[in-house]
């Protein structure tokens, strides 16, 4: 078991390196530098001398391969560089933003799981019933609504019209501020989970071993408890893992909309300012989170499903 | 002991509902099985053998349903039973083995637990007692080292072993009737023989009646005392197994017998093409009028295409459904 986890961790190393390289190349070829972003239109020259000095200071006059070498060497010591803007180490800039993002993604995934899985389950146990219809219509609309639009509607209804919840911001970090953004972010994975759960349960309902269970004289409730749930869980768990990654990525939109001080809004701001070390660092951390969550899901699946081998 | 048969099936019809229209997938099927008797059902795929057995255990699911007829088990009409009463019967007094041992067991549950469920469900045993009983049950189906095997998952077992586990489950509560739906079709030939022997020995030891379903006439003739031949949802012939081979009455049965490959036939008679019955079983929605076998029958005459043949009793016992039976 432990060696399985260690091996999975080692497998993520080449992926991280590849991602680091892609990000680096990407931000080396896009036009504009931190210096040029200082000007109004992002292109015109402030003052040739100032620009040259800033570029030199940030190491931009070195050739690309030397900069890449430095970057990787720093990475090996967990040094993500220094932010151009705040002059702070990127690691600490990101660390400040990590918790709000973790809160947001966890809350939205909890919402998605708590709503989507039971919804799909109930729908599958009564296919064709009104419960099924309602939940699947909800699921399809949930998947089709754009997040920013949904967020705006939530703000309008719950903050402006009803006045129950704050419209945006992190506030004092209390749960009240978390509710609207996590719903806006959680509706799509909720819908997808409902559909996946429904499909998984329906598929297993028709499996041969469920027929065997019925032939044993088991009641439908027992069939669900003893044979169906565990089998459906493997499929649902995999979907949850994948959705977690998607949610971290999509948090960018919602964080920006709700002025949520997370990794996503940090990323957007840093791209506009060409604060390259922060951009590279945030993307890398997001990728890392994605990999870690998927590894966790793989481990859980391996615990549930004996057919997945540890070795 | 009374001579009341264990199972009586009378004029059973099973409907297949497609878009509001009902097609009889099985029609006018009647047979009886006595206590401890082995009865075989044989026929090509799509003849309605499997759904007949599912009807007996009350497991037909939409779009299939019992349309008419009665099934009496031990004197009680099973269609009249409540779902709860039917559940008590299933597994305990009627049990079933399926064709695919690969998929018929839950992949995420140790086999010991899957056997133990039977004792918990029907004998009110605790899980601990049930585990001990499941070790015994595994030993009964000749699985070596059963106390270690109970912790294995289905994917760790061979096909033959899995089918043994299925048999252990089916016979756990010593049922009166065992429905074996093509129990060896998915297995190697050598394993087939072992499994059949196991079914025969165990059912004989406990006086369990067996309904053996197969497309393999040779296997059925070996295992069963009496044989029912099904074609396109109908029982076309019902005889003692030994007679079916010697003097098949229905042209379809003759065709099945003739199409059996004979070991050593090539050296004896030279290289010959295997006999076959031309054509295929018609789909349920397109059963022909008259005798359902007439489009494929070598003996068909005009009457076969228009009139449905009735059941004729045969002189030495048994029935045939043919205008021109021999």
Tell whether B168 and B190 lie within a shared domain: no
State whether B155 and A209 contact (CB < 8 Å): no
Candidates A204, A206, A209, partner chain B, best to mutate (most B CBs within 10 A)? A209
Distances (CA, A) of A12 to A26, A284, A289, B123: 21, 12, 11, 51
DSSP B157-180: S-HHHHHHHHHHHHHTT--SEEEE
Number of domains in chain B: 2
- What CATH number corresponds to the domain at position B210? 3.40.50.300
State whether A217 and B89 contact (CB < 8 Å): yes
Which of these three, B111, B146, B172, is where a domain ends? B172
- Stated as kind and residue range, the H or E segment containing B190 is helix B189-206
Tell whether B74 and B111 lie within a shared domain: no
Q: What are phi and psi of B103, to 5 degrees?
A: -110, -5
Tell whether B56 and B177 lie within a shared domain: yes
Assess if residue B219 is contained within a domain.
yes
**pLDDT by 10s per residue, chain A, length 311:** 788 888 888 888 888 888 888 888 887 777 666 666 666 555 555 677 777 777 777 677 777 788 888 888 888 787 878 887 788 888 888 888 888 898 899 999 999 999 999 989 888 888 888 888 888 888 888 888 888 888 888 888 887 788 787 777 777 777 788 888 888 888 999 999 999 999 999 999 989 999 999 999 999 899 998 999 899 988 899 899 888 888 888 888 888 888 888 888 888 888 888 788 888 888 888 888 888 888 888 888 888 888 877 65
Tell whether B142 and B272 lie within a shared domain: no
The minimal CB distance from A307 to the residues B89, B107, B121 is found for B107
Instruction: Give this prediction's pTM.
Output: 0.82
- Read off the pLDDT band of B311 (50, 70, 90): confident
Look at domain A98-304 and name its CATH class.
Answer: mainly alpha
Tell whether B137 and B188 lie within a shared domain: no
Tell whether B32 and B69 lie within a shared domain: yes
Q: Report the residue of chain B nearest A303, measured CA to CA.
A: B108
Q: Where in chain A is the domain with CATH 1.10.3720.10?
A: 98-304
State whether A222 and B121 contact (CB < 8 Å): yes
Three-state SS sequence of chain A: CHHHHHHHHHHHHHHHHHHHHHHHHHHHHCCCCHHHHCCCCCCCCCCHHHHHHHHHHCCCCCCHHHHHHHHHHHHHCCCCCECCCCCCEHHHHHHHHHHHHHHHHHHHHHHHHHHHHHHHHHHHHCCCCHHHHHHHHHHHHHHHCCHHHHHHHHHHHHHHHCCCCCCCCCCCCCHHHHHHHHHHHHHHHHHHHHHHHHHHHHHHHCCHHHHHHHHCCCCHHHHHHHHHHHHHHHHHHHHHHHHHHHHHHHHHHHHHHCCCCCHHHHHHHHHHCCCHHHHHHHHHHHHHHHHHHHHHHHHHHHHHCCCCCCC
Distance CA(B228)–CA(B243), nearest Å, equals 12
What DSSP state is assigned to residue B215? S
How far away is chain A from the Cα of B181, in angstroms, using its nearest Cα? 12
Tell whether B238 and B286 lie within a shared domain: yes
Distance CA(B287)–CA(B24), nearest Å, equals 9
The residues near B185 (Cβ < 8 Å, ≥ 6 apart) are B99, B214, B215, B216
Distance CA(A62)–CA(B196), nearest Å, equals 80
State whether A215 and B57 contact (CB < 8 Å): yes
Assess if residue B1 is contained within a domain.
no
Tell whether B46 and B112 lie within a shared domain: no
| Distance in angstroms between the alpha carbons of the first and the last residue of chain B | 37
CA dihedral of B278, B282, B286, B291, whole degrees rounded to 10: 70
Tell whether B43 and B184 lie within a shared domain: yes
Predicted pLDDT of residue B1: 47
Size of interface A-B (CB pairs under 8 A): 71
Which residues of chain B neighbour A217 with C-beta distances below 8 Å?
A: 87-92, 121-122
Instruction: Report residue A19 as tokens.
Output: 């991602």
Which of these three, B127, B143, B172, is where a domain ends? B172
Tell whether B162 and B199 lie within a shared domain: no
Tell whether B124 and B250 lie within a shared domain: no
Assess if residue B19 is contained within a domain.
yes
What's chain B's average pLDDT?
89
Assess if residue B210 is contained within a domain.
yes
The minimal CB distance from A217 to the residues B87, B109, B166 is found for B87
- Read off the pLDDT band of B276 (50, 70, 90): confident
Candidates B92, B106, B110, B177, partner chain A, best to mutate (most A CBs within 10 A)? B106
Predicted pLDDT of residue A32: 66
State whether B109 and A234 contact (CB < 8 Å): no
The minimal CB distance from B121 to the residues A208, A217, A306 is found for A217
Residues above pLDDT 70, as percent of chain B:
99
Predicted pLDDT of residue A36: 65
**ipTM score here?**
0.88
Distance CA(A64)–CA(A62), nearest Å, equals 6
Predicted pLDDT of residue A9: 84
Which residues of chain A neighbour B163 with C-beta distances below 8 Å?
A: none
The minimal CB distance from B105 to the residues A209, A222, A234 is found for A209
Q: Does A227 touch chain B (CB under 8 A)?
A: yes
Which of these three, B172, B194, B226, is where a domain ends? B172
Using the structure block, give the residue that is written with the tokens 């918790």.
A99
Task: Say how many C-beta atoms besides its own lie within 10 A of residue A134's C-beta.
Answer: 13
Tens of pLDDT along B29-83?
999 999 999 999 998 888 889 999 999 999 888 889 998 899 999 989 988 899 8
Chain B residues with CB within 8 Å of chain A CB: 57, 59, 87-92, 95-96, 98, 100, 103-109, 117-118, 121-122, 153, 155, 166, 169
Predicted pLDDT of residue A62: 74
Predicted pLDDT of residue A156: 82
How far away is chain A from the Cα of B174, in angstroms, using its nearest Cα? 13
Domain containing residue B148: 100-172
Predicted pLDDT of residue B56: 93
Tell whether B233 and B308 lie within a shared domain: yes
- Averaged pLDDT for residues B161-177: 93
Assess if residue B189 is contained within a domain.
yes
Assess if residue B2 is contained within a domain.
no
């Amino acid at each position: 078991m432990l060696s399985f986890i260690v091996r999975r961790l080692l497998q993520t190393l080449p992926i991280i390196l590849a991602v680091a390289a892609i990000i680096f190349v990407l931000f080396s070829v896009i036009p504009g530098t931190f210096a040029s972003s200082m000007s109004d239109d992002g292109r015109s020259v402030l003052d040739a001398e100032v620009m040259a000095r800033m570029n030199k200071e940030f190491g931009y006059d070195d050739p690309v391969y030397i900069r890449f070498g430095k970057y990787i060497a720093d990475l090996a010591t967990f040094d993500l560089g220094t932010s151009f803007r705040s002059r702070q180490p990127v690691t600490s800039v990101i660390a400040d933003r990590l918790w709000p993002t973790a809160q947001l993604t966890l809350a939205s995934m909890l919402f998605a799981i708590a709503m989507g899985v039971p919804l799909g389950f109930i729908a599958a146990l009564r296919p064709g019933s009104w419960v099924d219809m309602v939940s699947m219509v909800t699921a399809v609309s949930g998947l089709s609504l754009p997040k920013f639009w949904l967020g705006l509607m939530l703000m309008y209804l719950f903050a402006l019209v009803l006045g129950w919840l704050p419209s945006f911001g992190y506030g004092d970090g209390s749960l009240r501020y978390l509710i609207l953004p996590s719903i806006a972010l959680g509706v799509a994975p909720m819908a997808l989970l409902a559909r996946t759960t429904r499909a998984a349960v329906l598929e297993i309902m028709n499996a041969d071993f469920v027929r065997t269970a019925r032939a044993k004289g088991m009641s439908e409730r027992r069939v669900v408890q003893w044979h169906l749930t565990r089998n459906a869980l493997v499929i649902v768990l995999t979907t949850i893992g994948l959705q977690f990654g998607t949610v971290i990525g999509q948090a960018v939109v919602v964080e920006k909309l709700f002025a949520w001080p997370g990794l996503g809004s940090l990323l957007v701001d840093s791209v506009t300012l060409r604060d390259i070390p922060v951009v590279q660092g945030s993307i890398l951390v997001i990728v890392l989170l994605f990999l870690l969550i998927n590894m966790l899901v793989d481990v859980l699946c391996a615990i549930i499903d004996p057919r997945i081998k540890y070795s | 002991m009374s001579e009341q048969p264990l199972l009586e099936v009378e004029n059973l019809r099973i409907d297949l509902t497609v878009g509001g229209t009902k097609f009889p997938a099985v029609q006018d099927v009647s047979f009886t099985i006595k206590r401890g008797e082995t009865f075989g059902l044989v026929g090509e795929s799509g003849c309605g053998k499997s759904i007949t057995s599912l009807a007996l255990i009350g497991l037909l699911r939409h779009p299939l349903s019992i349309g008419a007829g009665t099934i009496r088990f031990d004197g009680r009409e099973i269609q009249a039973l409540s779902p709860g009463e039917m559940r008590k019967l299933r597994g305990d007094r009627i049990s079933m083995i399926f064709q695919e041992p690969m998929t018929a067991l839950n992949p995420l549950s140790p086999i010991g637990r899957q056997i133990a469920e039977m004792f918990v469900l029907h004998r009110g045993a605790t899980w601990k007692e049930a585990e001990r009983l499941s070790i015994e049950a595994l030993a009964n189906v000749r699985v070596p080292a059963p106390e270690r095997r109970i912790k294995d998952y289905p994917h760790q077992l061979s096909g033959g072993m899995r089918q043994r586990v299925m048999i252990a489950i089916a016979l756990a509560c010593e049922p009166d009737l065992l429905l074996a739906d093509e129990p060896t079709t998915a297995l190697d030939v050598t394993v087939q023989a072992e499994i059949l022997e196991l079914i025969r020995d165990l059912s004989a030891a406990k006086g369990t009646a067996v309904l053996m379903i197969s497309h393999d006439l040779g296997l059925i003739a070996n295992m069963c005392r009496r044989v029912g031949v099904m074609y396109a949802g109908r029982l076309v012939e019902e005889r003692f197994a030994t007679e079916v081979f010697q003097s098949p009455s229905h042209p379809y049965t003759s065709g099945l017998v003739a199409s059996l490959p004979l070991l050593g036939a090539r050296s004896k008679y030279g290289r010959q093409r295997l006999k076959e019955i031309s054509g295929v079983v018609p789909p349920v929605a397109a059963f022909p009028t008259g005798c359902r076998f007439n489009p494929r029958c070598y003996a068909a005459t005009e009457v076969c295409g228009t009139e449905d043949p009735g059941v004729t009793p045969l002189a030495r016992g048994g029935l045939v459904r043919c205008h021109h039976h021999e």
